[in-house]
Amino acid sequence: MTTLNYFYLTSGIFFFLLGYYVFLKDPKRRVNLIFFLFSLAATLWYEGSFLKGFLYPNLSLEQREQLLLAGNWKILVAEDIGWLGISYLSPLFLHLVILITKQRAVFQKKISIILIYLLPTLVNIWILIYDFYFDLQLHKIVKIAEIFQHFFGDILFPLYFISFIILGLIFLIKRYTKLKSYQERTQARYFMIGALIPGIIGVIHLLLFLIKINISYLSWLLGPSFA
d(CA 5, CA 57): 9
pLDDT in tens, 8-21: 888 889 989 999 99
pLDDT tens by residue, 187-217: 788 878 877 777 777 777 777 766 666 655 5
The per-residue b/e assignment along 216-227, b for 16 or more CB within 10 angstroms, e otherwise, is eeeeeebbeebe
Number of domains in the chain: 1
Residue 22: give its domain's CATH number: 1.20.1070
Distance CA 18, CA 72 (A): 33
Q: In this predicted model, what pLDDT tens digit does every residue of 101-153 receive, in sequence order?
A: 887 666 667 777 888 899 999 988 888 888 777 665 555 556 777 777 777 77
More confident residue, 91 or 128: 91
**Domain membership of residue 56 as a residue range:** 3-226
Residue 16: its pLDDT value, please?
Answer: 93
Dihedral angle of Cα 203, 209, 213, 214, to the nearest 10 degrees: 110
Q: Please write the tens of the pLDDT for every residue from 46-76.
A: 888 888 888 877 766 666 666 666 667 788 8
pLDDT, the chain, mean: 79
d(CA 130, CA 43): 24
pLDDT > 90: what percent of the chain?
A: 15
Name the band, by pLDDT with cuts 50, 70 and 90, for residue 39: very high
| Cβ atoms 139, 72 nearer than 8 A | no
**pTM: predicted TM-score of the whole model, two decimal places:** 0.82
Residue 225 sits at the vertex; the CA angle it makes with 219 and 227, to the nearest 5 degrees, is 120
Q: Which of 24-38, 87-101, 142-156, 171-185 has the lowest mean pLDDT?
A: 142-156
